[in-house]
Amino acid sequence: MSSVSIGAEDASQEANPPRYVMRKLPHITALFWALKIVATTLGETGGDLLAQTLEVGYLVSTVIFLALFLVAVVFQLRARQFRPAIYWTVIALTSTAGTTLSDLMNRTGGIGYAGGALVLTSCLAIVFYIWWRSGQTLDVENVATFKGELLYWVAILFSNSLGTSSGDFLADSLGIGFRQSALILSTIMLLLLAAHYFTRINGMLLFWIAFVLTRPLGATAGDALSKPRDHGGLNWGTTWTTAALLTILVVLIVYQSAQIRRHPLDPVPAPVNRRTGEPEQPNGALVTDPV
């Protein structure tokens, strides 16, 4: 390449510097999974606290939690970069809303745990199909558009609802019990971790399987702590269990926030449509220097 063309290329890069977008979703690390399990366990006990202990009922509780979820997700969608407190609030609310929504369908609606799991699996499959057809990236760490993030949160809401139904089906319908179900699900999670490191199975497939399974893991763990002993639990009650889990979640969020202040998350490249290659409007803060 001639010096003239090199100079023209440099000038072009200076006039149109590479664009990057501040990351809005966290890296998938051990801390992420710890926070996810605590948040989903909190969702199980928090949902039961409002619907059962306080006798608000599944329908009203679902309306309340979905309304809170919508408010929180608006703040998340409007944020210009990753905010741990906002992100994990939305995750916790998808778990509480998922708990009461699943119980409303399965118990009040009378379709049963297996029927609820089937309906929610179908809904989640439809969301993933729309997501794939939209051309948005399926890499959950690099989602950087409004449409992509919106699909991400819809998928999470359905996955957490599905997790409640599948956890109840495993513990109650199959008669395995809360503690044994938690052990089985923990074993499956370890197998998924091994598959991630030692096989070539698609990483996003493993992520979503693990993401769905952390919900029944949290549900069975929450029930194991809060339910009476004659139901296989430790009889902590929903109030004390919810308070303990909320405290742990807050401590972990503070720790993650401190980590990010010391080591900011790397930005992601400006988004392009996966199918067409056309640039798309980012929904995070734009930066020109990835360092």
Query: Per residue in 66-79, pLDDT tens?
Result: 999 999 999 999 99
pLDDT for position 191: 93
Q: Indicate whether 286 pLDDT > 50.
A: yes
pLDDT for position 290: 62
Task: Name the band, by pLDDT with cuts 50, 70 and 90, for residue 291.
Answer: low
Highest mean pLDDT among 65-74, 188-197, 267-276: 65-74
**Over residues 196-225, mean pLDDT:** 83
pLDDT for position 183: 83
8-42 confidence digits (pLDDT tens): 434 443 445 558 899 999 999 989 999 998 998 88
pLDDT for position 108: 84
**Over residues 251-263, mean pLDDT:** 95
Q: How far apart are CA 177 and CA 167, in angstroms?
A: 10
Q: Indicate whether 87 pLDDT > 80.
A: yes
Tokens of 126: 């439809």
pLDDT for position 231: 64
pLDDT for position 246: 92
Q: Indicate whether 135 pLDDT > 50.
A: yes
* Percent of the chain with pLDDT strictly greater than 70: 91
* Spatial contact of 97 and 62, defined as CB atoms under 8 Å apart: yes
**Over residues 151-160, mean pLDDT:** 91
Q: Indicate whether 4 pLDDT > 50.
A: no
pLDDT for position 164: 73
Instruction: Please count the other Cβ atoms lying within 10 Å of the Cβ belonging to residue 33.
Output: 15
Task: Name the band, by pLDDT with cuts 50, 70 and 90, for residue 131.
Answer: very high
Task: Name the band, by pLDDT with cuts 50, 70 and 90, for residue 2.
Answer: very low
pLDDT for position 103: 83
Q: Indicate whether 130 pLDDT > 50.
A: yes
DSSP-assigned states of every residue in the chain = --HHHHHHHHHHHHHS---EE---S---SHHHHHHHHHHHHHHHHHHHIIIIIS---HHHHHHHHHHHHHHHHHHHHH-SS--HHHHHHHHHHHHHHHHHHHHIIIIIS--HHHHHHHHHHHHHHHHHHHHHHHT----TTS--BHHHHHHHHHHHHHHHHHHHHHHHIIIIIS---HHHHHHHHHHHHHHHHHHHHHS---HHHHHHHHHHHHHHHHHHHHHHHHS-GGGTS---HHHHHHHHHHHHHHHHHHHHHHHHHHSPPPPEEPPB-TTT--B--BSS-EES---
Task: Name the band, by pLDDT with cuts 50, 70 and 90, for residue 247.
Answer: very high
Q: Indicate whether 5 pLDDT > 60.
A: no
pLDDT for position 109: 85
pLDDT for position 16: 53
Q: Indicate whether 226 pLDDT > 80.
A: no
Global confidence as pTM: 0.85
Q: Indicate whether 174 pLDDT > 50.
A: yes
